[in-house]
Amino acid sequence: MAAPTVVLLPVWGAGHLMPMLEAGKRLLTHSGRALSLTVLLMPAPTEEVAAELDGHVRREEASGLDIRFVRLPAVEPPMDSRGIEEFVSRLVQLHAPHVRAAMSSLSSPVAAFVIDFFCTTLLDVSRELAVPAYVYFTASAGMLALFLRLPSLHEEVTVQFEEMEGAVDVPGLPPVPPSSLPDPLMDKNHPNCTWFAYHGRRFVEADGIIVNTAAEIEQSVLAAIADGRCTRGARAPTLYPIGPVISFIPPTERRPDECVQWLDTQPPASVVLLCFGSGGFFTAPQAHEIAHGLERSGHRFLWVLRGPPAPGERLPSDANVAELLPDGFLERTNGRGLVWPTKAPQKEILAHAAMGGFVTHGGWNSVLESLWFGVPMAPWPLYAEQHLNAFTLVAYMGVAVAMKVDRKRNNFVDAAELERAVKELMGGGEEGRKAREKAMEMKAAFRNAVEEGGSSYAALWRLSEEIMCKVDTNH
């Protein structure tokens, strides 16, 4: 009899695919019995993303673990979608027949179906095949609470969220200012918002929700979800907070990147990193403000600067430094700062002793990496749920220094505000000192959580037992 398999259905984005694969691999190693992983891959929407996906697949296939990749046939993408959330949700929906066919034709019995949170339309497939289904939630528990709360919030608030009086009530979190809600919710009549509410409604149908967080850092939110306070008293699915799920590529013998070598020459905890994720880039007016702010702050910096995407591409391009930076900036900050115009090894940088703070877009994976290494943050949200993350990092977790971001002007930050935030983060201010202390506490909590006997380790064990128990009952 072939070993049972857990089927994963990730979305191809870097912040979705890697944490889900990593979670799957942890499930394999935690399971006391033979178990394999089958990953269903939807074709990536651009050649650039497809090439990245292929690189990940090659690396995992060489890992020696029992992981099989099944490539699903392409579907005709929805050309009339008005936003990324709508596009992904509808594209996933179109894959339903291929997912059903792929799962039906596997030679191993399917123990569980784990889907990305954009894939709730496929809960229908798991029900037809009588397979237990779990949602893998790649963002924070705070964001999950908002998702679960959204269907009723949609009815309660009759105006646009930003026009409402007072704050948004998300159980477990401090009162959320409407200006901190995720991008897709800014227009209630937009399909992106409708899809978010749809997914929030369907989450409760899953057998469980696996969350990339640790119980210690979002205790009150996880409790609020478990008590049914986010779902109007309706039963919430069992939560499995198994984070932080961070994929560390094993070190190779290669020389570290030049930017990491540059950090070797800097004093401990003296450098602020500015890095904005796989989708963050700036045009010249904003880059000039950053340059002036950094120069005037007097602090050492490593700035990962990316330019707008090339025509027809989705992801940022390598920066043309001459076009993006003010005249003489590189000369004036030579030795004190480094502008890195291409992708950077963020985890390696955050792990470095010279790191003192992180100006980040606040994507959840970057937040987890920062806290894993105990680096305090100044969040500069750009898209997706990052405005909510920025709020929770400052007001709920206390691991970050607030920075004023003008959402109405495409998340613009002026030089004086960046200068102030960097000085606060890196210098002697009270807010910065507290954020540094709190980040170090979180680092310890994170490491304890994933160790044997820790909260995340225990949640993963419970999940593995639950899946195996269902296999035994069904066979």
Query: Which residues, including other chains, have CB under 8 Å from residue 450's CB and lie 6 or more apart?
Result: 214, 244, 456, 457
- Nearest one of 459, 95, 35, 12 to 244, comparing CA atoms: 459
Amino acid at 30: H
Strands 238-241 and 110-116: unpaired
Q: How far apart are CA 261 and CA 363, in angstroms?
A: 26
Q: How far apart are CA 402 and CA 421, in angstroms?
A: 7
Which SS3 state, helix, strand or coil, does residue 41 take?
A: strand
Catalytic member of 95, 116, 154, 387: 116
Query: Is residue 116 flagged as an active site residue?
Result: yes
**Token reading at 343:** 């992708």
Amino acid at 144: L
The CA–CA distances, whole Å, from 100 to 42, 122, 131, 244 equal: 13, 9, 11, 31
Q: How far apart are CA 191 and CA 195, in angstroms?
A: 6
The CA–CA distances, whole Å, from 304 to 49, 285, 337 equal: 20, 16, 11
**Token reading at 407:** 């959402």
DSSP 345: -
**Token reading at 372:** 């894993």
Query: Is residue 16 flagged as an active site residue?
Result: yes
- Nearest one of 45, 52, 70 to 14, comparing CA atoms: 52
Peptide bond connecting 244 to the previous residue in cis, omega within 30 degrees of 0: yes
Active site residues: 16, 116
